[in-house]
Amino acid sequence: MTTFKLHKPEEEVRRVGFVLQKQGIHERIPAQVGLNIDVSGSMSELFQSGAVQAALERILPVALYFDDDGRIDTWVFSNQEKMASIAPATAKNYEGYVEREIIGNNALKTVLWGGTDYGPVIRSNLMTYGLMEEEAAGGLLGMIFGLSRDTFGEETRSGIPAINYFLTDGENGDRDAAWELLQKAERAESQIYYVMVGIGDERFDFLRSAAKQFPNVGFVSVKDLGKFVGSDDAYEKLLPAELCTWLKHEHDDEDDDHH
């Protein structure tokens, strides 16, 4: 299996810079980098083969380039509310990360190897970055039943845009709920861009539709994850033109705010 092993992070960070320069980004634009990893049952082979670890190691130089903290905010998810935010991946802890923090993590036993829902982990992303908050619902019913409503914001808590990679090999069972979250975040012009990486032979109708509908969602079709992360053009695909345009727009808006 062709795959990728991160030996020289600094060299890979330079390669990320070269790819961005080709897209017209000549100065570093700060961004937070996140990774949502599908841990449904069908993904287990990709974990065992080392492909998921290789993907993490390929994405890490992107985080080292964009993020002052040089970390990947990491989530795992399966179905229903089975998801968790886990220790960020960094240049210091990435070796053996998947085995240590996911497969061998006893705290994740109830999360691993279920079905596939996207909504809960998207919700967690938005809450973590401060792009979404729960507020008490108004009116008498809200007071009596303790109802809450979601409000969506434009800026992240840090004021820095977030790029979140999504690794999944399956169609989701919560299309309406996930779509509504993406729609509300996009309407609020929330500072988050999703790179949805669909692995294998599924049609990924939901992800393709989301990428077509929302300017802050991109889709990358990957037949073989190991070969993909080992390919010479992996960064070009992980940093597509639409993402680069979105980053430049976010950066220009930030500059305008400071004038």
Indicate whether 166 belongs to any domain.
Answer: yes
Domain membership of residue 83 as a residue range: 32-134+144-257
Instruction: Give the pLDDT mean for 99-107.
Output: 97
Indicate whether 13 belongs to any domain.
Answer: no
Q: Is the pLDDT of residue 142 over 80?
A: no
Which pLDDT tens digit goes with each residue over 157-194?
Answer: 999 999 999 999 999 999 999 999 999 999 999 999 99
Indicate whether 2 belongs to any domain.
Answer: no
Indicate whether 19 belongs to any domain.
Answer: no
Q: Is the pLDDT of residue 259 over 50?
A: no
Residue 231 pLDDT class (50, 70, 90 cuts): very high
3-state secondary structure of 6: coil
CA 162, CA 185: separation in Å to the nearest integer?
A: 13
Which pLDDT tens digit goes with each residue over 44-97?
Answer: 999 999 999 999 999 999 999 999 899 999 999 999 999 999 999 999 999 999
Indicate whether 188 belongs to any domain.
Answer: yes
Instruction: Give the pLDDT mean for 208-227.
Output: 97
The alpha carbon torsion through 118, 242, 57, 63 (nearest 10 deg) reads -100
Q: What is the CATH number of the domain that holds 81?
A: 3.40.50.410
User: Which residues, 6 or more positions from 31, have their beta carbon under 8 angstroms from its beta carbon?
Assistant: 66, 67, 160, 161, 162, 163, 247
Indicate whether 157 belongs to any domain.
Answer: yes
- How many domains are contained in the chain? 1
Indicate whether 10 belongs to any domain.
Answer: no
Instruction: Give the pLDDT mean for 230-250.
Output: 95
Indicate whether 237 belongs to any domain.
Answer: yes
